[in-house]
Amino acid sequence: MKFGTKTIHAGLHPDPETGAIMTPIYQTTTYVQARPGDHRGYEYSRTGNPTRHALESNLAALENGKHGLCFGSGMAAIDAVAKLLNQGDEVISTNDLYGGTYRLFTKIYERLGLKFQFTSMADPSAVEALVNEKTKMLWIETPTNPMMNIIDIQAMVTIGKKHDLIVCVDNTFATPYLQRPLDLGADIVMHSATKYLGGHSDVVMGALISSNDELAERLYFIQNSSGAICGPMDSFLVLRGIKTLHLRMQRHSENGRAIAEFLKNHPEVEKVYWPGFEDHPNHQIAKKQMDDFGGMISFVAKGNDYEKAIRVVSSVKVFSLAESLGGVESLCGHPASMTHASIPKEEREKNGIVDALIRLSVGIEDIEDLKADLDQALKS
């Protein structure tokens, strides 16, 4: 089954009672049993809900995995992965990752006895040099947020297999439409389904997908025991969003390319970060593991000036200045004061997240309107 067909049909079936083609919203906490233990597959909605189960099956199919698990947010999904580890275990992670992930790792789990080493993952040999007997996991984000660096998933998987490490990939920016880490050997794929999967800025959710039966069993136990699940209404919204994922991602990618090229040639722009450019340092890896380059772009206005950056993001009219990404509407943000404010300034700037950096989530509006809006904002 091709990807576009999977988004509409994979894991989904008409309602057996009514024939309804859309998965019903099973807004219930509990399920009647004929006698103790004699039920139809569901006992309590924290443990399992038919609407959520349909979404989990659909997501597993999209990532070419066997098991899907949905959570109340992307952070709840990452939290579940961290709970696979024990006190004293170590994790190697990319150094320019999402600020919320960095905050969870350093402010919550370091206090509980985990150790995190943050490094550029552009050089696999440098990553392998950090592995020791306590290392248990590689945490990969590619493309990275917001610097748009690309990490070679297969190279990280090779290191992971050699040293018996769990390899996790945050695939939020790419989605399975553009990149499928399980096919490249990763153990777990994570999504903030709030973003492109939901696609309409109306739901907060996270997801994990794996083909590893043992890991999946442990994650199901954590999901049920910790209880950070999503509700049936949210599950329905993401299921509905996924039905147009392939169409939206195609347009996001087309508009992303057009905006990246527009910015690169704009006299008021100093630097553009987008992996589709041939001079991007990881372009060849992106070409190898992605089907296109998506709609996320970061750039620095001419002069690398903080006040200029604030003026630009405050002057847009079609784009909206807001947190988050991946919706049909175009958004712009200022990572240093918004999404990555929890990362110390020195660490941020070391990784390129300067105070003048602007991040764009390019939506699916008419491209000429988006260009005109950025042009007037840059000239403001």
CA distance 226 to 206: 14
Spot the catalytic one: 31, 46, 264, 306.
Answer: 46
59-78 exposure pattern, b = at least 16 Cβ within 10 A, e = fewer: bbbbbbbebbbbbbbbbbbb
Spot the catalytic one: 6, 136, 195, 359.
Answer: 195
Is 279 catalytic? The answer is no
Which distant-in-sequence residues (6+ apart) come within 8 Å of 376 by Cβ? 315, 317
314-318, long-range: CB < 8 A, 24+ apart: 315/376, 315/377, 315/380, 316/373, 316/374, 316/377, 317/373, 317/376, 317/377, 318/365, 318/369, 318/370, 318/372, 318/373
CB 68 within 8 A of CB 60: yes
DSSP string computed for 19-78:
--SSPP----SB---SBTTBSSS-SBTTT--HHHHHHHHHHHHHTT-SEEEEESSHHHHH
Instruction: Write down the number of H helices and E strands in the chain.
Output: 14, 12
CA 193 vs. chain centroid, Å, equals 7
Centre a 10 Å sphere on the Cβ of residue 2 and count the other Cβ atoms it contains.
Answer: 7
Residues linked to residue 119 through DSSP beta bridges, in sequence order: 94
Phi, psi of 72 (to 5 degrees): -70, -15
Spot the catalytic one: 79, 96, 152, 170.
Answer: 170
CB 92 within 8 A of CB 137: yes
Is 46 catalytic? The answer is yes
Task: Show the tokens assigned to 371.
Answer: 């260009």
Tell me how far apart the terminal alpha carbons of the chain are, to the nearest angstrom.
49
Residue 353: DSSP 8-state: -
Give the amino acid at 147.
M
Burial class of residue 207, CB neighbours in 10 A (0-12, 13-18, 19+): buried
Is 98 catalytic? The answer is yes
Catalytic residue numbers, as ranges? 46, 98, 170, 195
